[in-house]
């Protein structure tokens, strides 16, 4: 067979192509980084969930006199495990965070009256923290105020109440939280409330009760975002049936990627385009990594076995569990795991329904490369590497959640003449 002779110019081009892959890859990496950087310049991160207020309660008893939010990297001494906080002003700037929902959370183990008192304390300490750093933080209650703070170079600071126990089964308390600046309520935390089922508790109500539906209606009337992180699938479905404004998941992943009950199933993701809501993807390792979740289940099983084997001998249990840990090191979640959840939500619901809700200072650590709030640019670089356009990155960073806020505000404005709801959880039967 006669050899094919290529023109010299093509031979030269082929030689250059073979010699240049490393250079081409470097160029692509530069383009990827530039795309992520441009997106975050145009649309800084608007994160859906950060637990600094709970750290203020647990570490500092809500006293700010000795707390320096400019740099919290040396706060390990204030934690039983020596763990420093994930968040401070310097690292928020490095992470390109332009707006933050601060979680005014109180434990779901509190009775409702105590929960109401404590959530007021968390609102108070968070607002005092915002006021203490006026050059860096600015309270925001509307989408316009968020954008205005960003334009002025401040981090827009919003309040989100995590867990319906914080309203004490009272629409009046709900309205007062809104009046104090709270702009979302997570309907449950890890335990059921008297009117809604949680994802991680034994179902009691098969979703929302009639009063729970009234809570959703009243939140829509107020322009308060209905947050469905932490709730059961039945509660998600009932809330979507009732809601007339977009909902949010302030810090959740996709259950099809990691099977944790805290994540959002495809049946719910498929309904988001009609509702207009967003899933703000979480960074908590056991929610985003199936390997970490499975490791945790195995470890829990081993702990239960040891406790059954060594009844009344906690030292033996601790010794056995330490040996198991040494032989079975915990896998590490990665930024790629987090991006996998974003990819899946994009596939099922669309890129218009994705945001970011890190859950920093509400977990031991984020995934590798995203251990604290400095990590957002690395996540957006990974998404750009996967082919997300600048416009899509901007949507995920903040434009989607701003659209949701505006839609909720517009719906509330359309109900300006509707009186406040008067439903009661234990209303007397009509005579």
Please confirm, yes or no, whether 266 is among the known catalytic residues.
Answer: no
Core vs surface per residue 332-363: b (16+ CB within 10 A) or e: ebbbbbbbbbbbbbbebbebbbbbbbbbbbbb
CATH 3.30.230.10 fits 30-287+335-414, yes or no: no
Q: What is the pLDDT of residues 70-122, one digit of tens each?
A: 999 999 999 998 999 999 999 999 999 999 999 999 999 999 999 999 999 99
Return all residues near 364 (Cβ < 8 A) that are at least 6 apart.
81, 83
- Please give the C-alpha separations between residue 188 and each of 165, 196, 203, in angstroms, as whole numbers: 7, 7, 12
Q: How confident is the model at residue 427 (pLDDT cuts 50, 70, 90)?
A: low
**Confidence (pLDDT) at 424:** 94
Mean pLDDT score, 31-36: 95
Beta strands in 111-265 (DSSP E): 137-139, 155-162, 182-186, 225-227, 248-252
- On the question of pLDDT at 4 being above 50, the answer is no
Query: What pLDDT sits at residue 362?
Result: 97
CA distance 172 to 124: 19
- Strand 354-356 and strand 278-281: the pairing is parallel
Q: What pLDDT, on a 0 to 100 scale, did the predictor assign at position 109?
A: 92
**In this structure, what token pair is assigned to residue 100?**
């933050």
- Three-state DSSP class for residue 247: coil
Which two structure tokens, joined as six digits, stand for 172? 């009046």
* Cα separation, 380 vs 61, whole angstroms: 35
Average pLDDT, the chain: 93
Nearest alpha-carbon partner for 275 in 250, 253, 242, 251: 242
Q: Which two tokens stand for residue 111?
A: 């009775």
Q: What pLDDT, in 10s, does the model give residues 184-214?
A: 999 999 999 999 999 999 999 999 999 999 9
Q: 154: alpha, beta or left, given left = phi > 0 and alpha = psi -120 to 50?
A: beta
Q: What is the pLDDT of residues 48-73, one digit of tens each?
A: 999 999 999 999 999 999 899 999 99
Of 227, 352, 359, 382, which residue is the catalytic one? 359
- pLDDT surpassing 60 at residue 385: yes
What is the rounded average pLDDT of the residues 277-305?
97
Q: Which of 47, 49, 260, 372 is catalytic?
A: 49
Task: Locate 49 and state its tokens.
Answer: 């969930």
CA nearest to 216, candidates 150, 149, 157, 167: 167
- Rg (C-alpha) for the chain, rounded Å, is 24
- Counting residues of the chain whose pLDDT is more than 70, the rounded percentage is 93
Question: Which residue in 47, 51, 352, 382 is the catalytic one?
Answer: 51
Average pLDDT over residues 115-131: 98
What per-residue confidence (pLDDT) applies to 426? 78
Q: Pairing state of beta strands 354-356 and 137-139? A: unpaired
* Residue 286 backbone dihedrals phi, psi, to 5 degrees: -75, -10
* Contact call for residues 186 and 230 (beta carbons, < 8 A): yes
**Do residues 83 and 70 make contact, with C-beta atoms less than 8 angstroms apart?**
no
Helices 400-414 and 210-222: angle between axes, nearest 10 degrees: 100
230 catalytic? Reply is yes
Active-site residue, 165 included:
no
Both tokens assigned to 355:
């945001």
- One of 230, 260, 341, 344 is an active-site residue; which one? 230
pLDDT-derived band of residue 248, with 50, 70 and 90 as boundaries?
very high
409 and 220 Cβ atoms separated by less than 8 Å: no
> Which of 86, 165, 178, 251 is labelled catalytic?
251
Would you say 99 and 130 are in contact if contact means Cβ atoms under 8 Å apart?
A: no
Arithmetic mean of pLDDT, 378-386: 97
Residue 337 is among the residues annotated as catalytic for this protein: no
Query: Which candidate in 189, 205, 260, 341 is catalytic?
Result: 189
Confidence of residue 28 (pLDDT cuts 50, 70, 90): confident
Told to judge if 162 belongs to the known catalytic residues of this protein, a careful annotator would answer: yes
Rounded to whole angstroms, the Cα distance separating 89 from 100 reads 12
pLDDT in tens, 147-180: 999 999 999 999 999 999 999 999 999 999 999 9
Q: Exactly one of 47, 86, 88, 162 is catalytic; which is it?
A: 162
In which residue are the tokens 């073979």 written? 18
pLDDT digits (tens, 9 = 90+) for 299-339: 999 999 999 999 999 999 999 999 999 999 999 999 999 99
The full set of domain ranges for the chain reads 30-287+335-414, 290-331
- Residue 175 CB neighbour total at 10 angstroms: 18
Whose CA is closest to 282, among 196, 367, 384, 164?
A: 367
Annotated catalytic residue 359? yes
Residue 411 CA to residue 399 CA, distance in Å, equals 18
Neighbour-count burial of 105, counting CB atoms closer than 10 A to its CB (0-12 exposed, 13-18 middle, 19+ buried):
buried
Do residues 36 and 388 touch, judged by C-beta distance below 8 A? no
């Amino acid at each position: 067979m006669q050899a094919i002779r290529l023109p010299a110019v093509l031979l030269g081009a082929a030689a250059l192509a073979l010699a240049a892959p490393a250079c081409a890859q470097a160029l692509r990496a530069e383009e990827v980084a530039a795309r992520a950087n441009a997106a975050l310049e145009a649309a800084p991160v608007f994160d859906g969930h950060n637990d600094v207020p709970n750290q203020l309660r647990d570490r500092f008893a809500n006293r700010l006199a000795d707390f320096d939010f400019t740099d919290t990297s040396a706060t390990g001494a204030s934690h039983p495990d020596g763990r420093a906080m994930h968040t401070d002003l310097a690292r928020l700037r490095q992470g390109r965070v332009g707006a933050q929902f601060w979680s005014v959370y109180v434990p779901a183990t509190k009775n409702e009256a105590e929960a109401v008192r404590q959530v007021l304390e968390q609102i108070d300490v968070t607002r005092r923290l915002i006021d203490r750093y006026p050059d860096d933080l600015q309270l925001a209650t509307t989408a316009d105020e968020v954008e205005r703070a960003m334009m002025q170079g401040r981090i827009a600071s919003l309040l989100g109440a995590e867990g319906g126990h914080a309203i004490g089964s009272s629409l009046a308390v709900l309205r007062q939280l809104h009046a104090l600046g709270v702009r979302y309520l997570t309907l449950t935390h890890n335990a059921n409330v008297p009117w809604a089922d949680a994802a991680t508790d034994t179902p009691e109500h098969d979703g929302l009760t009639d009063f729970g539906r009234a809570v959703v209606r009243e939140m829509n009337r107020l322009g308060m975002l209905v947050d469905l992180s932490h709730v059961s699938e039945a509660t998600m479905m009932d809330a979507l049936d009732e809601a007339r404004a977009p909902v949010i998941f302030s810090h959740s992943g996709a259950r099809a990627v990691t099977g944790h009950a805290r994540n959002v199933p495809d049946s719910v993701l498929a309904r988001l385009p009609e509702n207009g809501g967003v899933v703000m993807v979480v960074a908590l390792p056991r929610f985003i990594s199936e390997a970490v979740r499975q490791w945790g289940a195995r470890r829990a099983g081993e702990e239960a076995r040891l406790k059954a084997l060594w009844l009344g001998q906690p030292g033996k249990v601790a010794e056995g569990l330490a040996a198991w840990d040494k032989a079975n090191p915990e896998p590490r979640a990665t930024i790629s795991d987090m991006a996998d959840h974003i990819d899946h939500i994009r596939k099922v619901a669309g890129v218009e329904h994705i945001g970011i809700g890190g859950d920093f200072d509400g977990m031991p650590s984020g995934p590798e490369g995203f251990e604290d709030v400095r990590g957002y640019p690395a996540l957006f670089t990974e998404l750009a590497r996967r082919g997300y356009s600048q416009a899509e990155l901007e949507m995920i960073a903040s434009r989607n959640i701003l659209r949701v806020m505006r839609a909720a505000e517009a719906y509330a404005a359309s109900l300006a003449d509707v009186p406040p709801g008067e439903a009661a959880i234990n209303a007397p039967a009509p005579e």
